[in-house]
Amino acid sequence: MTSRVETVDLGKRYDGILALEHVRISAQPNEVTSIVGTNGAGKTTLLKILAGLETSDGGRVLMDGREVDQNELRGLCTMVFQKTVILGTTVYGNVAYGLEIKSVPRQEIDRRVKSALHSVNLEGFEKRKARKLSGGEQQRVSLARALVLERDLLLIDEPTANLDPANALLIEHAITEAKSMTTIILSTHNLPQARRLSDHVVHLHRGRVIEEGPPSSFFTAPQDERTKLFINGELQY
């Protein structure tokens, strides 16, 4: 089966400092792939390259077996950032933004916004000022804003960092529902979350993939010593 997205020997340096090296990952259609690793492992850098927000210094990104460039990636993927970025408008305005700039018909926008807000349990919030919402609600708005675009690939950087358990649960529920419509790659420090949500787990350490596999074997029988230490909370960058 052709992977929905695949990276081949992806590399990235910032001012000579290695961020990613020879990264090969693949994500299958309608699956959740979690990227786990310590701070500074390169998780966010990887997601930003896949989102077309940064260029790589080497390697390729393939979508459905076809090599794509940075501009194409921006049209095929969307990203939810760890730090919530909210536009100074209503919840509806935030969620609809990506559709409005593409001149999608208003009726279609209304339908998709309603559906996206339903999936993150924010129905009825359309007219509220998005910046006056709680942190958890804002993160759910961010997720709805990405879901509404119905892109081939959804990238989520630390989906539930700084969220209380109730909001985290709502986000996880939305991610689980969303994967039937798209392919999801998320980065997380939350290992139980990665275990719950993922179909595939990748361990990134110092910019390199050192282990990957389904959660069933990744967490119970890791092969790499560093992965064992990481799962036990003993691995340092």
Partner 1 sequence: MRAIQLIISGNPEVYGITALSLYVSVLGTSLSCVWSIPIAIGLALRSFPGKRISKGFFNAMIGVPTVTLGLFLYLVLSRSGPAGYFQLLYTPTAIIIGQSILVTPIIVSFSTSALESIDPDLRSLARTLGASNNQMYQVVIREASWGIVLAIIASFNRAFAELGVALMLGGNIANVTRVLTTAIALSTDMGDLPLSIALAIILLVIVVTLSVVINLLRKQ
> What is the smallest separation between the CB atom of 109 and partner 1, expressed in angstroms?
13
| Contact status: 41 vs partner 1 (CB under 8 A) | no
> What is the smallest separation between the CB atom of 50 and partner 1, expressed in angstroms?
10
Return the residue of 60, 102, 106, 132 that touches partner 1, per CB under 8 A: 102
Give which of 182, 192, 232, 186 is closest to 215, Cα–Cα. Answer: 192
> What is the smallest separation between the CB atom of 157 and partner 1, expressed in angstroms?
11
User: What DSSP character marks residue 152?
Assistant: S
Binding segment toward partner 1, per CB under 8 A, in 27-35, 81-89, 188-196, 221-229: 81-89
The type of residue at 177 is E
| Residue nearer to partner 1 on the CB measure, 146 or 210 | 146
Return the residue of 2, 64, 85, 224 that touches partner 1, per CB under 8 A: 85
The type of residue at 122 is L
Interatomic CA distance for residues 175 and 32, integer angstroms: 8
The type of residue at 132 is K
| Contact status: 83 vs partner 1 (CB under 8 A) | yes
Give which of 148, 147, 152 is closest to 5, Cα–Cα. Answer: 152
CB 186 within 8 A of CB 197: yes
Size of the site for partner 1 (CB under 8 A): 21
